[in-house]
């Protein structure tokens, strides 16, 4: 298996940005309410993650290492502004702008993609992170929706079910190994 294909599959599965590297975990736990309503946001977030990862990781190869956090921050904030312009993350969440949820995944994916070093692997890893995030985002939306309409006690609905389901996903993805 070549480096780019491995980077792509690793980023979808054993380095999934939601359940394995956690950078997108909060965004995926809070935002999706149902499977159907999460499809469009998932697409937008994944495109944003792809370009943020690619642009941020590429730019950091061109600047001194001490400037890398500034690049990550600038790309992360610019991509958040783009998501806001597209109509995502416009509500407030716990007294703060919901857009704050997007910053950690956008910066985290840049850092993760940047570790690959070579251009083909960075493109593949950006794509893998985007696809992996979108899949988990929709799946978690479906789990939240089905737990909400289930007949179980309110004690077990939504967040506990979502978090334990993410543990099961993490266990499943741990089983993938490519060489």
89 binds other proteins (CB under 8 A): no
Which is closer to other proteins, CB of 39 or CB of 142?
A: 142
92, 117, 150, 176: which one binds other proteins (CB under 8 A) = 92
CA separation for the pair 169, 179 (Å, rounded)? 22
Cα torsion for 31, 38, 20, 121, to the nearest 10°? Answer: -120
Give the helix, strand, coil percentages of the chain, each rounded to 5. 70, 0, 30
21 binds other proteins (CB under 8 A): yes
Coil vs helix vs strand at 120: helix
Return all residues near 123 (Cβ < 8 A) that are at least 6 apart: 4, 54
22 binds other proteins (CB under 8 A): yes
Return all residues near 153 (Cβ < 8 A) that are at least 6 apart: none
| Min dist. Cβ of residue 79 to other proteins (A) | 12
| Min dist. Cβ of residue 30 to other proteins (A) | 7
160 binds other proteins (CB under 8 A): yes
DSSP calls for 1-39: --HHHHHHHHHHTTT-TTTTS-TTHHHHHHS--STTTTH
Which is closer to other proteins, CB of 108 or CB of 141?
A: 108
2 binds other proteins (CB under 8 A): no
Q: Contacts with other proteins in 140-159 (CB under 8 A)?
A: 153-156, 159
Q: Quick check: 119 and 58 in contact, CB under 8 A?
A: yes
Backbone angles phi, psi at 25, to 5 degrees: -65, -45
Which is closer to other proteins, CB of 39 or CB of 84?
A: 84
Binding piece for other proteins, criterion CB under 8 A, among 13-21, 35-43, 121-129, 131-139: 13-21
What residues make contact with other proteins under the rule CB under 8 A? 19-23, 25-26, 29-30, 69, 72-73, 77, 81, 84, 92-97, 99-101, 103-104, 107-108, 111-112, 153-156, 159-160, 163-164, 166-168, 170-171, 174
């Amino acid at each position: 298996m070549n480096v780019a294909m491995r980077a792509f599959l690793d980023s979808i599965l054993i380095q999934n940005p939601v359940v394995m590297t956690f950078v997108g975990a909060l965004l995926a736990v809070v935002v999706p309410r149902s499977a159907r309503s999460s499809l469009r946001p998932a697409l937008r977030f994944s495109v944003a993650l792809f370009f943020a990862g690619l642009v941020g990781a590429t730019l950091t190869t061109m600047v001194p290492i001490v400037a890398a956090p500034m690049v990550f921050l600038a790309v992360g904030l610019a991509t958040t502004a783009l998501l806001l312009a597209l109509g995502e993350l416009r509500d407030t969440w716990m007294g703060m702008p919901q857009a704050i949820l997007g910053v950690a995944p956008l910066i985290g994916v840049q850092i993760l993609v940047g570790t690959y070093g070579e251009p083909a692997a960075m493109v593949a890893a950006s794509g893998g992170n985007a696809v992996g995030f979108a899949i988990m985002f929709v799946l978690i939306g479906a789990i939240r929706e089905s737990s909400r309409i289930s007949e179980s006690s309110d004690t077990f609905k939504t967040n506990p079910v979502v978090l334990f389901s993410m543990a099961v996903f993490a266990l499943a993805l741990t089983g993938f190994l490519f060489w």
